[in-house]
A and B are shown apart, each in its own frame.
Chain A
Amino acid sequence: MKAVCWMGKEKMQVHDVPDPKILNPRDAIVRITSTCICGSDLHLYDGFIPTMEQGDILGHEFMGDVVEIGPGVNKEKLKIGDRVVVPFTIACGNCQPCKEQLWSCCDNSNPNAWIAEKMMGYSPSGLFGYTHMLGGYSGGQAQYARVPYADVGPIKIPEGIPDEKVVFLSDIFPTGYMGAENCNIRPGDTVAVWGCGPVAQFAIRSCFMLGAGRVIAIDRVRERLELAQAAGAETLNFDQVDILDALHEMTGNRGPDACMDVVGMEASGHGALYAYDRAKQVARIQTDRPIVLRQAIMACKKGGTISIPGVYGGFVDKIPLGAYMNKAITMKTGQTHMMRYMGPLLERVQRGEIDPSFVISHKLPLDKAPEGYRIFRDKQDRCIKIVLKPWEQPLAA
């Protein structure tokens, strides 16, 4: 089968690799019909998250048809022929965190838990195609994928709904939604959202679903700001205004009730501090550039909430912990507890409350994935979200 392989920093290649097979009793094999490039894949593309191996198959946002199941899969939950969306977190369903619905903290799904324990104390769940520290599972930017614990994660999709409307249940829609839920929104609240990428677009819409009065969206890419405006958000361009000043002005010196960092470890910014972070990250002295997080802590109102759906990989410095402590801020974060949200959000899609396909800017055959990574990273060609079609042949140009 064809698969998108990480061959090194900024080096993505499509290779012919053996088809995946069932390795464990609770595995299933899914024939992939749609798969996406996620903003968090760009951290791997740029080589900022450690423990990647040359030859790793990337991709954690995919859906397709079940073509094979292991003998341990609960047949009432999943059978051959089912059309499913696969969540990016892998969870066993039986450990204590899974029982507590903390699916992305599953104890048992990471075969390399010891590496994560060295960096984090305890290991979160395994993820598809996202470093060996988080499991080293081959991902879903391919024609087929092996899905462990297949009776826990994948959600069945009824016929009649196109892939484009449901494929984002695999990650970005639930991730944006959990980001908004973590904001502790009360009716009429003001939420500032840093970043207007695909996850943020869902986060902005979820904030309104949860009763926010105002959403202030921050980015510098014009088409992304426009898309945020279309959802009813006010927008700020950090190339043009000082974000802290602007937020003071817009909230009458109170600050937003909640601040959401949907950017994570590769934030952009201006000035000396940005240059300093950039240099330290390149020199591998720090893994992450926490520019947004610093701003969010400074901007947040007293007693407010900060939600971090943006991905951080390791260590940061110059975090204004004094502001965080003295302003009595609550901070909530985590990889998305996917299985909590997929069902309810699928129902919202079915009821027509939201059509997630609005973020798609590009549909490419799988062979074009390397180019897709490049334009997505460089925000060229008005790129917002790329869906890959594994079985489509590239057109002769």
Chain B
Amino acid sequence: MQRSSASSERGSSQLPFGPKTLVIGAAALIAYGLTRRSKTGTALAAAGGLLAYKAIQVRSTEAKTHAVFLVNASPEQAYRLWRDFKGLSRFMVHLKSVREIDTRRSEWVALGPGQREIRWTAEITEDTANQRIAWRSLPNSDVHTKGSVNFRPDPLGRGTFVSVNVEYGVPGGPVTSGLAALFGTKPEFVVREDVRRFKQLLESGEVPTTRCQTHGPRGIHGHTERVLFREKTNLPDPQAAPAYRKSA
């Protein structure tokens, strides 16, 4: 199936290098400029200062993510699985639960490091059956997020394109670090894997996992690699039988 994903951290897209490179470059320019003690030197130091200012601006945790998968199911089937918000945690692995407050609002709970709960209330901003669902978080939430999912039938009858756009904006404070740990430095990875699990659940009725499987003694080497291969994010628990849904 097809997949693609992309993300852009706000700010960094305007510059051809990453924040780290900028900081090093800026520091070098300032140091070089100041030691020259000339007009050129001053100009260089000023340019360095400007670069450093830019670098600080870039360091925002806002992120836009995008992922698309062509799934072997009809738009109706895909929409139905996604629109059942209670079931989102079956493929969005960081979610602990989603509780629907009324037809438009729902309360989302994600688990951060140390099992700390991160909560937000989301409202549906758009809900077109079998085509599109959009949502955004309400004020007083731990995270600012908005997102949408579109279901578009392939014109050649090869299934349904499920394309997801999610934006995260994180206010400062302890939550920021928590969220960074939660989503890692690559939010697009998390979103793409969530959508991949959605496809797996929709097509085969379950999400493949090796969590909790039997194995030999891991030792330090084995444990390190488990973290490296992100196998901690294989679904956290054996999937309960009641969660089973007839596959597409």
Residues of A at the B interface (CB closer than 8 Å) are 1, 3, 5-8, 13, 15, 17-26, 51, 53-57, 70-72, 92-96, 99, 107-115, 122, 126, 132, 135-138, 146, 148-149
Contact in complex: B216, A17 (CB < 8 Å): yes
Contact in complex: B203, A5 (CB < 8 Å): no
Q: In the complex, which residues of chain B have a beta carbon less than 8 angstroms from the beta carbon of A15?
A: 216-217
Residues of B at the A interface (CB closer than 8 Å) are 1, 3, 72, 158-159, 189, 192-193, 196, 199-200, 203-219, 221-222, 225-226, 229-231, 234, 238-239, 241, 243-244, 247-248
The 6 closest A-B CB pairs, nearest first, are: A5-B216, A54-B222, A92-B204, A55-B216, A25-B244, A55-B218
Contact (A23, B216) CB under 8 Å given A96-B159, A114-B193: no
Contact in complex: B209, A5 (CB < 8 Å): no
**A-B CB pair tally, cutoff 8 Å:** 150
Contact in complex: A8, B221 (CB < 8 Å): yes
How far is B206's CA from A71's CA once the two chains are assembled, in angstroms? 12
Q: In the complex, which residues of chain A have a beta carbon less than 8 angstroms from the beta carbon of B200?
A: 92, 107-108
* B226 CB → nearest A CB, Å: 6
How far is B1's CA from A19's CA once the two chains are assembled, in angstroms? 35
Contact (A108, B204) CB under 8 Å given A20-B214, A55-B216, A70-B241: yes
Q: In the complex, which residues of chain B have a beta carbon less than 8 angstroms from the beta carbon of A51?
A: 225, 229
Instruction: Write the chain B residue with the least CB distance to A8.
Output: B221
Contact in complex: A136, B216 (CB < 8 Å): no
Contact in complex: B199, A71 (CB < 8 Å): no
How far is B205's CA from A112's CA once the two chains are assembled, in angstroms? 18
Contact in complex: B222, A53 (CB < 8 Å): yes
* A111 CB → nearest B CB, Å: 4
Cross-interface CB contact of B203 among A20, A56, A72, A95, cutoff 8 Å: A95
Instruction: Write the chain B residue with the least CB distance to A3.
Output: B216
Contact in complex: B205, A17 (CB < 8 Å): no
How far is B247's CA from A3's CA once the two chains are assembled, in angstroms? 33
How far is B210's CA from A56's CA once the two chains are assembled, in angstroms? 11
Instruction: Write the chain A residue with the least CB distance to B200.
Output: A108
* B129 CB → nearest A CB, Å: 24
* A50 CB → nearest B CB, Å: 10
Known interface pairs A5-B215, A54-B219, A137-B210; 9 further A-B residue pairs with C-beta atoms within 8 A, sorted by A's residue number:
A5-B217, A23-B210, A24-B208, A25-B243, A56-B216, A99-B72, A114-B193, A132-B225, A138-B214
How far is B223's CA from A54's CA once the two chains are assembled, in angstroms? 8
* A177 CB → nearest B CB, Å: 27
* A28 CB → nearest B CB, Å: 13
Cross-interface CB contact of A132 among B208, B219, B231, cutoff 8 Å: B231
Q: In the complex, which residues of chain A have a beta carbon less than 8 angstroms from the beta carbon of B213?
A: 20, 23, 137-138, 146
* B183 CB → nearest A CB, Å: 15
Enumerate 16 A-B pairs (CB-CB under 8 Å) in ascending A order.
A3-B216, A7-B217, A21-B214, A25-B206, A25-B243, A55-B219, A57-B214, A95-B203, A96-B158, A107-B1, A112-B231, A114-B189, A114-B196, A137-B210, A138-B214, A146-B214
How far is B233's CA from A111's CA once the two chains are assembled, in angstroms? 9
Contact in complex: A26, B214 (CB < 8 Å): no
Contact in complex: B218, A72 (CB < 8 Å): no
* B106 CB → nearest A CB, Å: 26
How far is B200's CA from A93's CA once the two chains are assembled, in angstroms? 11
Instruction: Write the chain B residue with the least CB distance to A22.
Output: B238
How far is B213's CA from A17's CA once the two chains are assembled, in angstroms? 11
Contact (A54, B217) CB under 8 Å given A96-B72, A111-B234, A135-B210: yes
Contact in complex: A110, B208 (CB < 8 Å): yes
Q: In the complex, which residues of chain A have a beta carbon less than 8 angstroms from the beta carbon of B192?
A: 114
Instruction: Write the chain A residue with the least CB distance to B158.
Output: A96
Q: In the complex, which residues of chain A have a beta carbon less than 8 angstroms from the beta carbon of B215?
A: 5, 17, 53, 55-57, 138
Q: Which of A22, A93, A107 has the most CB of B within 10 A?
A: A107
Cross-interface CB contact of B205 among A19, A26, A115, cutoff 8 Å: A26
How far is B230's CA from A146's CA once the two chains are assembled, in angstroms? 21
How far is B210's CA from A21's CA once the two chains are assembled, in angstroms? 11
Instruction: Write the chain A residue with the least CB distance to B212.
Output: A23
Instruction: Write the chain B residue with the least CB distance to A70.
Output: B241
Instruction: Write the chain A residue with the least CB distance to B242.
Output: A71
Contact (A72, B159) CB under 8 Å given A17-B216, A55-B217: no
Q: In the complex, which residues of chain A have a beta carbon less than 8 angstroms from the beta carbon of B158?
A: 96
* A26 CB → nearest B CB, Å: 6
Contact (A7, B247) CB under 8 Å given A55-B222, A111-B208: no
Contact (A95, B222) CB under 8 Å given A26-B205, A108-B200: no
Q: In the complex, which residues of chain A have a beta carbon less than 8 angstroms from the beta carbon of B222?
A: 53-56
Cross-interface CB contact of A72 among B205, B210, B212, B214, cutoff 8 Å: B205
Contact (A23, B218) CB under 8 Å given A94-B247, A108-B199, A114-B193: no
Q: In the complex, which residues of chain A have a beta carbon less than 8 angstroms from the beta carbon of B212?
A: 21, 23
Contact in complex: B208, A108 (CB < 8 Å): yes
Contact in complex: B189, A126 (CB < 8 Å): no
* B73 CB → nearest A CB, Å: 9
Q: Which of A57, A95, A110 has the most CB of B within 10 A?
A: A95
Q: In the complex, which residues of chain A have a beta carbon less than 8 angstroms from the beta carbon of B248?
A: 94
* A137 CB → nearest B CB, Å: 6
Cross-interface CB contact of B210 among A13, A19, A55, A138, cutoff 8 Å: A138
